[in-house]
Amino acid sequence: MQQKWLVLAAASLIFFFLNGATFASLGVVLYSMIRDLHWSQTEGGMSFSILGIACGVASPLPALLMRRFGCRRVVVLGGLCLTAGFALAFATSGLPAFDLAMVLLGLGYALAGNIPGVYLIASWFPHSSRRAIGFYLMLGAAGNVIGPPLVAAVVASSHSWRFNWLLMGIVAAAITLLCLIVLRDAPGTAGSADGPVAVAAPGSAASRTGLIPWRDRDAMLTRQFLLVATSMTLTIAGVTTNSSVAVTHLVHLGMTPAFAAFILSLVALIATLAKGLAGRLSENVRPSRVLAAGLLLQGVGDIAFSGGRGGSVLGDYTFACAFGVGWGLSYVAANLVLLDYFGREVGARILSVVWMVSTLAAAGPVAAGIIADRFGSFSPIFVLYAALLLAVALPIFLMRGPPVRAACEVVA
C-alpha cells in the first residue's frame, strides 16, 4: 500500500477515536459518574466546559509545534496526552483530578485532531486534497455517531464507568503506537527527511500566479479569514446549542425524549455523510460557495426547528436534514477555503486560530438558557441563529480570493 493511504488511514482512525471517546460520549459516562460520586449537575457539567475550553485554548499549539517538529510527532504527543487523560479519569475519585483529566483530553484532541490531520492529508494528496480531506472529516465525524451508543454499551455491560475510561486509555495507547509507526510527514515538509519547503496548495492564488504564499499575520487580517472564522463560530455554536437544549425544547413542544434523542442522532448521521460528499462537491464548485450553501441550509434548519407554530414532526425532520447537510458542508468547506486562499502551509496554521476563535461558541448554550428564562421558550435562539447565518452566507457566497502579494512588496 502506498504511504499516503497509510497516512490517511491512521489520521482518520485517531480522529474517529477522538470524536467518539471525548465530546460525543462524555455525557454518557458523566451520568454514571455524577450518581456514583455524588456530584451536582453543575459540577458534572463544568467538566464538559473544561474539556471544550482546554481544546480551544490549545488550538494554536499544533501549528506552532508542527513548524519545528513535524505533524507526526505532534499527533503522537497528542496521543500520549489522551492516554494520560484517560488513565487519570480511570483513577479519579474527585473533581480536581477529573477536571485535570479533561484538560489533558482537550490538549490531546487539539494536538492529534484535524489541524495536523488536514495538513498531513493536504501534503500527501496534493492533487486530490479536497476529496481526501472530506473523506477524512467524514470518518472522524462517524465517531460522533458510533461513540455514544458504544460507550453506553460498555458502561452497561461492565456496570462500571471506570472500566470505560480504562478501555479508552488502552485503545488510545494502541492507536498512538500505530500512528508512531505509520504516520510520516510528506517529503518537503517540516518533520520530513527533506526538510521544510513552503509550497502553495494546488489551486490557490499563489500556485496559479507563481507569487509567494501569505504570511500568517497578514492572512488573519483579511476579510476572507474573518468571514471563515465567523462562519465556523456560528456553526459550532449552533451544534453545541442544539446538543444541549434540543431534548428540552422538543419535549416543551410536545415530543417525547426518545424522539428528541433520535433527531439528534439523525442530525449527526446526515452531517457525517455530508462531510464525505463535501470534498467531492468542492472539486467542481468553489469551496466558498459550498460554505455559503452550508450556512444557508443551517439557517433553514434552525427556522424549521424553532417550532414557531407549535412544532411538528415534519419540521423536526426538515431540521435534521437541512441542518445536518449544512453542518457537514460548512465544516469541510471552511477548511478548504483557507487552504485554497492561503496555501497549504499558512492555511493549515491559521486554521488553528479559527478553532481558537470558535471557542466563543461555548456561550451558545448559556445564551439559549437566558433567552428561555426570559421568553419561556428556546425558539427565539434558533431564529436568531438563522438570521446570523443568513447574514454571513451572502458575503461568503460573493467572496473572492484575497490578492497575493508580489515578492517585491514583501521585501519592501
Predicted TM-score (pTM) of the model is: 0.75
For residue 58, give the C-alpha cell.
490549545
CA 126, distance to chain mean position in Å, is: 22
What residues contact residue 401 under an 8 Å CB cut-off, 6+ apart? 204, 205, 224, 340, 341
**Angstrom distance (rounded) from CA 336 to CA 338:** 5
| Contact of 122 with 201, CB cutoff 8 Å | yes
CA distance 225 to 61: 19
Q: Report the distance separating Cα 405 and Cα 314, nearest Å.
A: 51
Amino acid at 2: Q
- CA 39, 45, 46, 52 torsion: positive or negative? positive
Per-residue pLDDT averaged across 51-78, rounded? 89
- Taking 50 as the threshold, does the pLDDT of residue 406 lie above it? no
In whole angstroms, give the CA distance from residue 298 to residue 24. Answer: 20
Per-residue pLDDT tens over the stretch 337-372: 988 888 877 887 788 788 788 777 777 777 887 888
225: closest CA among 39, 35, 402? 402
**Domains (ranges, CATH) in the chain?**
3-182 (1.20.1250.20), 208-397 (1.20.1250.20)
CA angle, corner 283, sides to 278 and 287, nearest 5?
Answer: 65
Cβ-proximal residues to 47 (8 Å cutoff; 6+ apart), any chain: 26, 30, 95, 98, 99, 102
pLDDT tens for residues 177-203?
Answer: 999 999 998 886 656 554 444 444 444
User: Does 311 have pLDDT greater than 70?
Assistant: no
Which residue's entry shows cell 442544539?
242
Give the pLDDT confidence score for residue 216 in this predicted structure: 82
Q: Give the H or E element holding residue 158.
A: helix 129-158
